[in-house]
Structure 1
Amino acid sequence: MTVQRVVKIAVTDDGDAWVDGARLASEPGRSAVQARAAALRVVAEMADDGRPLRADASEPDGTLWRLVVHSDGRVEDAAQASQRADDPVARTVPEDYQAQRDVIVAACQAGRSAVAAALAESLCQQAADEHGRTHPYALQARELYGVALLQAGDAAGACEAYVAAARGWAGQNRTAYQEALRRAYACWQRVEDRTSSVWLGEQVVSVVRVGGEDVSDMLRAALTRLDRLRSGVSV
Structure 2
Amino acid sequence: MPVVTDLDSVPLTPVYTIVISTTGEATIDGEQVEHLPGQDARTAALADIRVRAARRGHPVRINAKEPDGSVWPLIVDHDGAVTPLDAPHPAALPAAPSPLREERAAPLDPHHAAVLGRVVAAELRGDLAAAAEAAEELETLLAADLGPLHPHTLGALATRAWLSLLQRNDWAAATRLHLLTAERRHQAGAPDTETRRAARNAHAAWDRLRTLDPASAEALRPELGRVAHLTA
Normalising by the residue count of structure 1, what TM-score does the alignment of the two structures yield?
A: 0.49
**Which of structures 1 and 2 has the bigger CA Rg?**
1
